[in-house]
């Protein structure tokens, strides 16, 4: 029992820790988990979903009544305009999202999906809206396997019709607007329509990504819009117009989301997917049958705060709550930001959370996800007790809170979402945190009606069974929603929101969001300073440190503790708002082009 004793814990908690350790040892002895894991090379999902494009210092922004933060100034201005008119956070989010589709097309849009976490000042409750894409009805578990049953290379899976899932974003925005919108639906589309018709200046980041992407110009419709006739990417400042997108938005503004999911737009989407050299199986019926869903949030406690985020099919909310629950027994406030101790404990907690994530989380309409067990405080304290103060575990094994581990296979999804995040607070105290995506950079690269289609199907596990024959929870199934790492969060104190945060960044989203929360709660930083902290953490492989930051100096000390270290670009896009006694403070990630604006 001494091997699993938790200092200061009750006998009952110590016994739980022992049962947890015993489950791990059993799994190890049967080679149920680590054998396959040890053979796994650096996963594709550990690549950055979008290229880095430099950084620019950002100042903390303060406001008294309302605030909007998003990844592009034009998008933030559209949302801010709605808030100034007395609109709700949902109104602001819709206007912002539609402009993001236009000016930041590599990251999100109506051809993709989103997760929204919404606090109602009237009811004091948090609700979430799931507009995650779904698998077409014809999708089969062997979708991304070759003739020998082996996973296809990622490049052969992503930029084609087979990667396209049923888009969900507009249904989700419509559902949220019906419940919490104030301004007329059509009014929310006007900023994006005006910009699409009049044109907008190509930003430095968009130019950089166009110049670096080799697959996008290979698709004729996309090349005709994003590149000059000689094939060069449009330069910074070029005024880019998208009248086709304006026509699409006008139709949806006038007729509602049905204009997208039925009729001419739907037929063009299906034709584009089927007309690709590697066609997909999306149908008109798939589009017509799509429904967004409201779900209860997943919530947990950390140092007197309540944190609520997105439930499955996202793994983000659970993983962030697990990391914080595992860290709560350690004095993070005494470990200075950027110190060896801070990086060590934070990375070890990430290893533990990602180990569970890779086995248990999938679409809850298809798989029983043990959410309550994974977030049980005693379970998290026992998991966190596995962290040694002076030695890295290198690779953590999953826990077994319900005794089901040996029936599950490990997920090998190639998750590299190209994503965006926005947050808003309105004058009535409503709050919204929303992460939105089309998966990889520029999605499937299929361009239709002025927007890009997602490649969300590659967020499913490429294999539906592990080497020992166990089914993977996040396997492809018809109508299923792929697992995500998106982690829009709202933090509350005494039932009132005090922080909104989220980020793009593939599976690294989990570490970005957890880092920012620790920065505010444990290290007492303002929102901008917490966002700007160097990114760090582990996705249960290397300990990753942001390139070009002071963290690089920690490599010798971390390696001496057994950490396998990787220095990497970490182009997060963390956006957040803190609500304090002085009003609202907004922060935008210096690694991208975001803007916080309020009044």
Q: How far apart are CA 399 and CA 120, in angstroms?
A: 35
Helical H runs in 30-137? 34-38, 73-84, 89-103
Q: How far apart are CA 92 and CA 90, in angstroms?
A: 5
Q: What letter would DSSP give residue 573?
A: -
Cα dihedral value 453, 457, 458, 463, nearest 10: -160
Q: Torsion-angle region of residue 375: left (phi > 0), alpha (psi -120 to 50) or beta?
A: alpha
User: Which two three-digit tokens encode residue 82?
Assistant: 């709605």
Place of tokens 């043990």: 370
Please pick, among 76, 248, 419, 458, the residue that the annotation labels catalytic: 419
User: Which two three-digit tokens encode residue 299?
Assistant: 């919530």
Decide if 419 is catalytic.
Answer: yes
Contact yes or no for 599/66 (Cβ under 8 A): yes
Q: What letter would DSSP give residue 243?
A: H
- Report which of 222, 51, 20 is spatially closest to residue 573, judged by C-alpha positions: 51
Place of tokens 């947050």: 423
> Residue 8's beta-bridge partner residues?
none
> Residue 409's beta-bridge partner residues?
472
Is the peptide bond preceding residue 313 cis, with omega within 30 degrees of 0? yes
Concatenated DSSP letters for 302-331?
A: ETTEEEEEPPTTBSHHHHHHHHHHHHTTS-
Residues noted as catalytic: 419
């Amino acid at each position: 029992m001494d091997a699993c004793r938790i200092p200061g814990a009750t006998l009952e908690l110590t016994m739980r820790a022992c049962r947890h350790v015993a489950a791990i040892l059993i799994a190890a002895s049967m080679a149920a988990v680590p054998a396959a894991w040890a053979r796994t090379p650096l996963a594709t999902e550990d690549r950055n979903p979008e290229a880095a494009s430099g950084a620019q210092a950002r100042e903390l922004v303060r406001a008294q009544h309302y605030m909007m933060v998003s990844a592009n100034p034009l998008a933030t201005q559209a949302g801010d305009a709605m808030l100034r008119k007395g609109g709700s956070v949902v109104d602001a989010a819709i206007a912002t999202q539609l402009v993001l589709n236009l000016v930041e097309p590599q990251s999100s849009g109506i051809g993709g999906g989103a997760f929204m976490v919404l606090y109602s000042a009237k009811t004091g409750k948090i609700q979430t809206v799931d507009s995650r894409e779904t698998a077409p009805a014809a999708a089969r578990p062997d979708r991304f396997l070759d003739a020998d049953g082996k996973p296809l290379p990622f490049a052969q899976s992503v930029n084609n019709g087979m990667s396209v899932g049923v888009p969900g974003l507009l249904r989700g925005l419509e559902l949220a607007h019906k419940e919490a919108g104030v301004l007329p639906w059509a009014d929310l589309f006007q900023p994006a329509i005006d910009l699409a018709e009049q044109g907008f200046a190509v930003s430095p980041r968009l130019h950089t990504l166009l110049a670096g992407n080799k697959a996008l110009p290979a698709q004729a419709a996309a090349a005709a819009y994003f590149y000059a006739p000689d094939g060069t990417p449009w330069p910074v400042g070029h005024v880019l117009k998208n009248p086709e997108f304006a026509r699409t938005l006008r139709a949806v503004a006038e007729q509602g989301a049905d204009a997208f999911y039925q009729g001419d737009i739907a037929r063009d989407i299906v034709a584009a997917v089927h007309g690709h050299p590697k066609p997909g199986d999306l149908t008109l019926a798939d589009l017509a049958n799509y429904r967004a869903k409201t779900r209860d949030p997943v919530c947990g406690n950390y140092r007197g705060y309540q944190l609520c985020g997105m439930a499955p099919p996202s793994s983000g909310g659970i993983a962030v709550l697990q990391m914080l629950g595992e860290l709560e027994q350690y004095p993070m406030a005494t470990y200075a930001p950027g110190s060896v101790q801070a990086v060590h404990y934070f990375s070890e907690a990430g290893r533990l959370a990602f180990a569970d994530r890779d086995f248990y989380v999938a679409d809850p309409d298809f798989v029983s996800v043990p959410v309550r067990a994974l977030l049980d405080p005693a379970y998290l304290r026992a998991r966190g007790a596995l962290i040694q103060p002076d030695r890295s575990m290198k690779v953590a094994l999953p826990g077994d809170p319900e005794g089901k581990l040996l029936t599950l296979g490990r997920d090998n999804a190639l998750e590299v979402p190209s994503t965006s995040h926005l947050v808003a607070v309105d004058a009535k105290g409503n709050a919204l945190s929303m992460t939105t995506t089309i998966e990889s950079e520029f999605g499937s690269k299929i361009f239709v009606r002025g927007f890009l289609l997602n490649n969300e199907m590659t967020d499913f596990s490429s294999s539906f069974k592990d080497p020992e024959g166990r089914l993977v929870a996040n396997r492809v199934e018809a109508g299923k929603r792929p697992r995500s790492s998106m982690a829009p969060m709202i933090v509350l104190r005494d039932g009132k929101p005090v922080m909104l945060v989220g980020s793009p960044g593939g599976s690294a989203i989990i570490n970005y969001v957890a880092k920012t929360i620790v920065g505010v709660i444990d290290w007492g930083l303002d929102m901008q300073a917490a966002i700007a902290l160097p990114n760090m953490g582990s996705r249960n492989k290397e300990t990753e440190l942001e390139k070009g930051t002071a963290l690089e100096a920690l490599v010798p000390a971390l390696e001496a503790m057994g950490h396998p270290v990787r220095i990497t670009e970490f182009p997060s896009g963390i956006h957040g708002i803190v609500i304090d006694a002085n009003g609202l403070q907004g922060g935008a990630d210096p690694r991208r082009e975001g803007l916080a604006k309020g009044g």
